[in-house]
Chain A
Amino acid sequence: MTDTLLRPGSGMLPGGPGEGMLVEVRGEGELRTQDMNLNIGPQHPATHGVLRVVIDLDGEKIVRATPVIGYMHRGFEKLAEARDYRQIIALVNRHDWLSAFCNELGVALAVERMMELEVPDRAEWIRVLMAEWNRVLNHLMFVGSFGLELGAITPVFFAFREREDIQGLMESATGGRLHFTYTRVGGLKEDLPRGFLAASAKMTRNVRVRNSEYRDLLEGNEIFKARTRKVGILPPDVALDYGVSGPTLHATGIAEDARVTEPYCRYDKVNVHVPVGATGDSYDRFQILLARIDASLDIIDQVLDNIPPGPVNVKLPKIVKAPEGEIYVRTENPLGQGGYYLVSDGKKNPWRLKMRTPSFNNISAMSYLLKDQLLSDMIAILGSVFFVVGDVDR
């Protein structure tokens, strides 16, 4: 043992066998550690893209964490000023590529409300249906990836199996797998294909069963619990102060959800269950995610029961122009509250289109969440504040 530790020619190692320890402790008896600066990302598997977090470490403890964003900034807000409203719909389902339908819905709602356009009943119901499928699609992704980040590799394969099915379903209606571009100002691109509702009903049963499997896989997992419980606690007042929304806010116990408090489309006709947590820790956030999948499936079932026949769009003039003024429309997107602040000067392209994206606000709370946490908990916290980097950077 001693031999292996000896450098050639260094003689006897202090503290070796047969010698007393020669470590002298000065000061008040505490070993000082040097602060270390560590870059997580921009290319890091746990950051879902190109988020960079600069952390200052004191030993294992995070003294300060600074998220650095902008690596994926594509200037969508500027681009939107040079596009008309139909083109913007194709534009906005790109920043958060996991919530494409919900994003485009927000733009359509904003323009419709400005134009005071009456959208056909069936279109509104289909919008609810698609938004909820999109939500399930999104949440399945994070159910899988969060498990993966904590070392559970099975859930991600399972989750992607269901995602594939749902993507196939949505593709049959919209023609897209990721960027649906299905919404139009005044309605939808086209009606659902034949058999969609039946397939939808079948799929809800299927996913509900699978969802309980994820519960068993992860929620009951001791390691998973140990790594997420009481980790990354976000108090409700802080969450609101930062504008955190979605599952992360609901986990703190606040059931603020635009689908309930300011229903859009036909959310006022369905019963929306908003699951809330108690402690606001990582475990709660994950539980909320699973519960939201079930809630969404319930909404889909209600839509399937209620969806009326009818047209799915209104005829519009060739050029859609929003009247002068400004409007803010918020929707409950899978990752939180998404919104568009649209300022129009009466032209066919907006004067200003502010994208209020949930991930931006959620990530801005990251420096609070990571402070004084252990480095090993960082991934559990980062992964549980569900975000998409494109949604942060736009």
Chain B
Amino acid sequence: MTPEDLAEYFRDKLGARVTDTKVAHGQLTVTVDPEALPTAARLCKEDPALRFDFFDWMSGVDERDAGFGVVTHLYSVEHRHHVNLRAVAPGGRDQPRLPSITGVYRGANWHEREAYDMFGVEFDGHPGLLPRILTVENFEGFPLRKEFHLSTRDAKPWPGAKEPEERTSAEAGQSVTTIDTPAPVSAEDKAAAAKAKAERAKAKAAAMRAKKAGERAAAELQPAGGDHGARAAAEPQPAGGDDQASAAAEGAAPAPASDTATMDAGGEGLDKPPAPSDPDLAGAGEMPEAASATDAPLQADEGEAEETRSASPAAAGEDVPAGTPAPDEPMGAAEIADSDIAKDAAAGAVQGDVAAGATGDQAGEDEPVDDLAAETASGIGAPPSASGTPGVEAEGRHGGATEQSGDRPAAETPGMNADPQGRAARPADQTPAPGADDGASATRDSGQAVSATMPDPAAPDTTPGGDASDRPVESYPSPDAEPLRAQELQADDADPPVEPTTPSGEGERS
């Protein structure tokens, strides 16, 4: 029977219990009264003209305000025809209930359990919907309902929403806003919060870079392992006359000279420029002044906004690696934004996880250009992080942190600045950064280490709008290709409009 005939047959047999029939794409959907679902199923199975003996599948569908529909697909091996038996569960979104058809089709058992697990549709007469079939037993909520948000999408809109009109509408990737259950915080708010945070992070990072570059420039005037006194004296200069800073630095300057020198020698490299202090050592009691010496310039540099934070040496210590683009490890750049944000969160901002989620997504390829976190990070060579999962991001940050604290305990000191420089970038010392893109460019030029290994910072800005798959795929060079098989290989969705790739010949050209 054709789908139309089948629809007619169903209407004849079930009368008013068929509320709707629809044929689309050659497929028949029969909507029946929920009460009549088992009757309809039995008719499908036993009527010789129908003989739907193959139970294919059953699935819930979120029907928005109407609640949940359940579609059962049946097939007849004998007659080779299909039907979608559909019923909308009464009870709306709160108490969707349907009679079970496990008595008719044994295969419906698991499918009804799945429908319950995913949509919360209860089936009267089912031998046991619990334990939940796919999710864990203590899972809360019904995941395929539209009001159930993916946690990643909660933190940040769908990164695939690269079309401008979709990006500005709050529901990018969450076509769920028709359901009136509000998300705890709307995606827009969170995105805005994350963006603001990222902006702060960026400004801070730029300031730090300027500062560090100045210091490095000063340090560069002296040979490696140079005079500590001079170094320390040079330090407060960019700080622009903050009393506390200069005083502390002056007080501290003579003290660390011998001690840190030996420590450096025992540490990572002899050519490491002087590290006037190490907070760990300082914290151990030998040179408390040294700690303030490193903190003070920071404080001066960052301004009043950060006073409370830098009051704690530990918190302030986190800043320095943030301002230090570690040239030989690309993660270093990501750390800038991350650690700042993490620190902010630790300092009491409530959206800590939001921020983390945002930075986690920052280097995604579809990231909008105006995401400042992404710009900041990619501008200094952060590797694209495909993951938008906050958890993953947290892990990455954690790893970076341990590396910094474990591998190089002196990370907090200005000496840390010079370390990567000494290790990685000697040959490229005077190379200016090619196309440094933001406010820090002038000073970053003197950060030789940065320019040595940094990927072109302008590059990420040119691409974020594009999808990887939008770029045409390179053709294989096929000089002697057989005409049959050689062909221009091209992505299906490249920009120019409708026109199939031409067959043979083009491949040979390329």
List the interface of chain A (C-beta within 8 A of B).
69-70, 73, 75, 77-79, 81-84, 86-87, 113-114, 120, 122, 184-197, 237-238, 240-243, 254, 256, 261-262, 307, 309-320, 325-328, 330, 337, 339, 341, 343, 345, 347, 349, 351-352, 354, 356, 360-361, 364-365, 368, 393-394
- Within 273-294 of B, Cβ neighbours of A (below 8 Å) are at none
Bound form: Cα–Cα A127–B71 in Å: 29
B135 with A313: CB separation less than 8 A: no
A-B contact pairs, 9 of them (CB 8 A): A190-B489, A194-B481, A242-B106, A243-B57, A310-B503, A315-B494, A315-B500, A337-B56, A354-B71
Bound form: Cα–Cα A273–B56 in Å: 23
Q: Which residues of A contact B77 (CB under 8 A)?
A: 240, 254, 256
A328 with B80: CB separation less than 8 A: no
B492 with A184: CB separation less than 8 A: yes
Shortest distance from the beta carbon of B120 to any chain A beta carbon, whole Å: 14
Q: Does B6 contact A (CB under 8 A)?
A: no
A194 with B490: CB separation less than 8 A: no
Q: Which residues of A contact B499 (CB under 8 A)?
A: 315
List the interface of chain B (C-beta within 8 A of A).
24-25, 27, 29, 53-57, 59, 61-62, 71, 73, 77, 80, 82, 84, 105-107, 109-110, 118, 132-136, 143-144, 148, 150, 153, 158, 160, 163, 173-175, 469-470, 473, 476, 478, 481-504, 507
Given known pairs A311-B503, A327-B24, the reply for A78 and B144 (CB within 8 Å) is yes
Tell which of A186, A191, A325, A352 touches B489, judged by Cβ atoms closer than 8 Å.
Answer: A191
B485 with A191: CB separation less than 8 A: yes
A73 with B134: CB separation less than 8 A: yes
Which 6 pairs across A and B sit closest by C-beta, in order of nearness? A190-B489, A191-B487, A354-B59, A242-B107, A311-B500, A70-B134
B57 with A354: CB separation less than 8 A: yes
Bound form: Cα–Cα A262–B26 in Å: 12
Given known pairs A194-B486, A311-B502, A326-B29, the reply for A241 and B469 (CB within 8 Å) is no
A197 with B57: CB separation less than 8 A: no
Which residue of B is nearest A68, CB measured? B131
Q: Which residues of A contact B491 (CB under 8 A)?
A: 184, 189-190
Tell which of B25, B158, B473, B492 touches A113, judged by Cβ atoms closer than 8 Å.
Answer: B25
A70 with B133: CB separation less than 8 A: yes
Which residue of B is nearest A188, CB measured? B492
Q: Which residues of B contact A262 (CB under 8 A)?
A: 80
Chain B facing A: main interface SS: loop
A343 with B61: CB separation less than 8 A: yes
Given known pairs A194-B485, A194-B486, A237-B53, the reply for A187 and B144 (CB within 8 Å) is no
B144 with A77: CB separation less than 8 A: yes
Known: A70-B136, A192-B485, A309-B503. 6 other contacts (CB 8 A): A75-B143, A77-B144, A82-B150, A256-B77, A309-B487, A349-B160
Bound form: Cα–Cα A341–B71 in Å: 10
Q: Which residues of A contact B487 (CB under 8 A)?
A: 190-191, 309, 311-312
Given known pairs A78-B150, A243-B55, the reply for A351 and B469 (CB within 8 Å) is no
Given known pairs A86-B469, A325-B25, the reply for A241 and B107 (CB within 8 Å) is yes
Q: Which residues of B contact A70 (CB under 8 A)?
A: 132-136
Given known pairs A70-B132, A364-B110, the reply for A351 and B504 (CB within 8 Å) is no
Q: Which residues of A contact B53 (CB under 8 A)?
A: 237, 240-241
A360 with B84: CB separation less than 8 A: no
Which residue of A is nearest B56, CB measured? A243
Shortest distance from the beta carbon of A282 to any chain B beta carbon, whole Å: 21
Bound form: Cα–Cα A87–B493 in Å: 13
Q: Which residues of A contact B484 (CB under 8 A)?
A: 197, 307, 309
B24 with A82: CB separation less than 8 A: no
Bound form: Cα–Cα A70–B489 in Å: 40
B485 with A196: CB separation less than 8 A: yes
Which residue of B is nearest A356, CB measured? B57
Q: Give the most central of A114, A186, A242, A327: most B CB within 10 Å.
A: A242
Tell which of A69, A114, A337, A341 touches B134, judged by Cβ atoms closer than 8 Å.
Answer: A69
Shortest distance from the beta carbon of A310 to any chain B beta carbon, whole Å: 5
A345 with B55: CB separation less than 8 A: no
Q: Which residues of A contact B29 (CB under 8 A)?
A: 326
B485 with A261: CB separation less than 8 A: no
A318 with B493: CB separation less than 8 A: yes
A314 with B500: CB separation less than 8 A: yes
Tell which of A82, A197, A365 touches B158, judged by Cβ atoms closer than 8 Å.
Answer: A82
Shortest distance from the beta carbon of A327 to any chain B beta carbon, whole Å: 5
